[in-house]
Amino acid sequence: MSTPNNPLNRLPEVPSFTLTSTTVKDGEALPAAQLSGIFGVPGGQDVSPELTWSGAPEGTKSYAVTVYDPDAPTMSGFWHWAVANIPASVTSLPVGAGDDTGSGLPTGAYQLPNDGRAPRFFGAAPPAGHGPHRYFITVHALDVEDIGVPAEGTPAYLGFTITGHILARATIVATAETPAG
């Protein structure tokens, strides 16, 4: 996956495993439910996608899930969702797990505030006419049960902390674009 501005290129190279979703497809546009009504996208519902993974390596003790847009018109991209301390026994998250309360998250897992400062999933909301944006939906297999990042920490802090603990990762890259109006 050697594309320009690929955030995974800055991380240690690790093996991959399988990530699938019934709601989002690699290389395809995000459905309306995964767009952001909070940010004013018509039809957007800010519903986190269903994710299912398999084939993580032996020694996996927890997972983290991140959703990141490197194409946002900022110097730091935009973090849409970050979940830490998903137990190793869990291999899926249901649609809508990233609501305001994290109702679909397993016991022990928690959401960190996204770049909108809300501990929930924010859907895609690329500025009108800015072109296509990529959304890196990544499950990180980790070698620790508790990553030790406080719940009020940032997704970037989570990303920095997990870097030394990633055994493998699986990614779906979906897209979204808002036409110039």
Question: For 18-29, what is each residue's pLDDT tens digit?
Answer: 999 999 999 999
What lies within 8 Å, CB to CB, of 181 at 6+ separation is: 128, 129
Phi and psi (nearest 5°) for 32? -55, -35
Query: Rounded to two decimals, what is the model's pTM?
Result: 0.96
Q: What is the pLDDT of residue 1?
A: 41
pLDDT band (50, 70, 90) for residue 179: confident
What lies within 8 Å, CB to CB, of 57 at 6+ separation is: 15, 17, 141, 167, 168
pLDDT over threshold 80, residue 84:
yes
Query: C-alpha 33: how far from its chain's center?
Result: 15
Report the CATH superfamily, name and number, of domain 7-175.
PEBP-like (3.90.280.10)
73-81 mean pLDDT = 95
pLDDT over threshold 90, residue 2:
no
pLDDT over threshold 60, residue 99:
yes
30-36 mean pLDDT = 98
Which of the two residues, 12 and 61, has the higher pLDDT score?
61
pLDDT band (50, 70, 90) for residue 85: very high
- The chain-wide mean pLDDT, for the chain, equals 95
160-175 residue pLDDT tens: 999 999 999 999 999 9
